[in-house]
Structure formats: structure tokens, C-alpha cells
Copies of this chain bind each other. A is one copy, B any other.
Amino acid sequence: MSLRYDFASDNTAPAAPEALAALVAANQGFAASYGADDVTARAADLIRQMLDVDAEVRFVASGTAANAISLAALARPFEAVLAHAHAHVATDETGAPGLFGHGLGIIGLPGASGRIETEALARALARPESPHAQPPGALSLTQATEYGAVYAVDHIAALAGQARERGLGVHLDGARLANAAAAGFDLRTLKTLDLDLLVIGGTKAGMTPAEAIVIFRKDLARRFDARLKQSGQLPSKSRFYAAPFVGMLESGAFIDRAAHANRMAARLAKACPFPLTHPVEANAVFVEMDEARLAALRAAGWAVYRFIDGSVRFMCSWATTEETVDQLAETLSAIA
């Protein structure tokens, strides 16, 4: 029996038509390499428009690399990054921040459903420094969180404000920023949030592999291309990473497709007989499920994962259909 990966992750989906069409359209004629082409310029403009901000934008292949490069730009090897204890950078990137950041540490902070508790950050920042441990050099936030929760603007502002007050840089991992936006998070507030670097996920939003790095703090842009090149993330054929952004931003699909994914998650949550372990605010559904039932679910052909917090995770994407959600819900009911 072949497994169904529909809910295994939002990166098991194909690329959305708008992304693919733009990629095909970009495949015309010769173009300057390493980001000097028109498609790349256009995509950067569209991102600046979407965020209503004057910032530098770069397009890269990998979200893991984009995050790690960002953290390396903000914290030095003998410093640490404050992040949610279950953040992707902390648990799911094989130590990439330590490689690109040459040993920088990560200090895990608590908080329900992947949102860092404001008090926990305050405590971490108040801890006296010593040369014997890596002091905080940057704060990394994730929107939407690993658990499909969406930060309120004020929450991010409170966290970023604390960090900034102590001289820390702030990074936002927006692998699922589209889902957060579709859930009501206003992207134009980002410019007020005192961020240094933002990674906007294209891949999970329904593009062919593509991520955008937004450099809010202008002085960080100096020699950023050299940084990317050394890190293997300055694509020669940049247009192929920019084009899907053009396609999805021009058409509005970036948000629309994410809204669909969110709706599918809501539909699944509603139909799901297992207890939810996290609020369903974006495109993820986390449930409590024992091993026997998980095995039964897999035996029924569904590839899904038990997450780091012990929940079983179902991810929806632009490509998830109501029909598939209902099929899964049926299986869930059968094994519950």
C-alpha cells in the first residue's frame, strides 16, 4: 500500500498553479545571474509592497539555511539565541544555527503552543551574565508557531521590545507567515515590530522551493550577498526562486491559498474525535493519540508524525481538499 502524505507536512504538497505558472513564465531568455535580474527585482518589490516597508530582500533555496544565516548575522559564536524550546531552529534543523553560527547556542524558552511567554523572556534577559555561559545575543520568534498558533501583534511587540531594550537582534521565522496572515495577522504591522531579519516561507506556502529574507535593518545588508554566497545561498539562477513569489504575490494566492489551508485545518479540527492539544489558528491540527491508534491510522495509509510534544500532527496545505479532510476524519472516527 502506498502511503498518503497529504497531512504529513505542508511541504509534501506540490506547488500551487500560480507559483508554477510564474516559474514557467520566468523561463524566458537570458538573465543576469545572482539576483541582478528583473524577476528578482520584481519579487523584492512585491514583498516590500506587501509589508509596506523599504527593506532589502533576498531569495534563497532553504528555510533552514535562511534561519541559520539570519541567526549568525545577529548573534556571535559566544552568544546564544533565545527561542521557543520547540522552535524549528531549536529542534528540527540538525544544529544548523550552530554550524552557520559557529557554535552559537540556543536557549529554549517555554510558552504554550509555541508562543514564548513574555515573562519567561523577561526572566531569561534578567539572568546575570557570566563569561562561562553564552549570554543572549538575539531573539528568534516563529509566526505562525510550530504548533499552529498565531502570535498577536502586541505579543510580538512585547517580546521584541524587551529584546531590543537589551540590545539583542530579533529574527522572525515566517516559514508559515502566509498562514498567520490568512489568520488575521496584519503583515504591515511587521515594520513596527523592531525586527532585524524576517524569513518569509515560500515552500510551505505552496511554492516550488523558495524563501525570502527581508533585511529590515539596513546596516545588516552590507556584504549580505557575500554572506549568502559563502553559505551556499546566493542562487545563480535567482529568477527561479523569485518567480514563485511573483506569481503568488501578484495574484493574491499567497494569502488566499494559506486561507484555504487554514480552513481545511479548522474543518479537520471540527470533525476530529481526538482531543486537540493546541488551538487551531493556522493550518495545523495537533491531537492526543496513543500508539495503538497511531499505528491503526498508519495502517490505514496515512503518513503522519508524532511531534516533539507527544501530539500527533496533521498539516493542511493549499492542496488539501475537503474530500481528503473528510476521508481522514472518517478514518479518525473509525479508530478513535
Chain A residues at the B interface, C-beta cutoff of 8 Å: 3-6, 8-9, 11-15, 20, 23-24, 26-34, 61-66, 68-69, 76-80, 91-105, 129, 131-135, 203, 208-209, 223, 225-237, 240-241, 303, 319
Contacts and interface: CB of A to CB of B under 8 A. Distances in A.
Given A14-B27, A23-B208, 11 more contacts: A15-B237, A62-B233, A69-B232, A78-B95, A92-B133, A94-B230, A99-B103, A100-B103, A100-B232, A103-B103, A203-B237
B32 A5 contact: yes
A95 B105 contact: yes
Given A6-B30, A14-B30, A78-B227, A95 B232 contact: no
A331 to B, nearest CB: 16
A221 to B, nearest CB: 12
Of A23, A26, A135, the most chain B CB neighbours within 10 A belong to A23
A131 B61 contact: no
A202 B63 CA distance: 21
Contacts of A28: 14
B232 A233 contact: yes
B6 A94 contact: no
A304 to B, nearest CB: 12
Nearest to A34: B131
Copy total for this chain: 4
A299 to B, nearest CB: 17
Nearest to A17: B27
A99 B65 CA distance: 13
Contact of A226 (B3, B12, B79, B233): B79
A5 B24 contact: no
A20 B27 contact: yes
A241 B240 CA distance: 12
A9 B236 contact: yes
B78 A226 contact: yes
A240 B62 contact: no
Contact of A225 (B13, B23, B131): B131
A98 B96 contact: no
28 contacts: A4-B30, A12-B31, A15-B27, A15-B240, A23-B23, A27-B208, A34-B132, A77-B99, A78-B94, A78-B227, A78-B231, A93-B230, A94-B131, A94-B229, A95-B134, A96-B231, A98-B105, A99-B230, A102-B102, A103-B103, A129-B226, A131-B228, A132-B229, A134-B230, A135-B223, A209-B235, A209-B237, A209-B241
Nearest to A130: B226
Nearest to A303: B32
A133 B223 CA distance: 11
B32 A131 contact: no
A128 to B, nearest CB: 11
A5 B27 contact: no
Of A31, A62, A129, A228, the most chain B CB neighbours within 10 A belong to A62
A232 B135 contact: no
A96 B30 contact: no
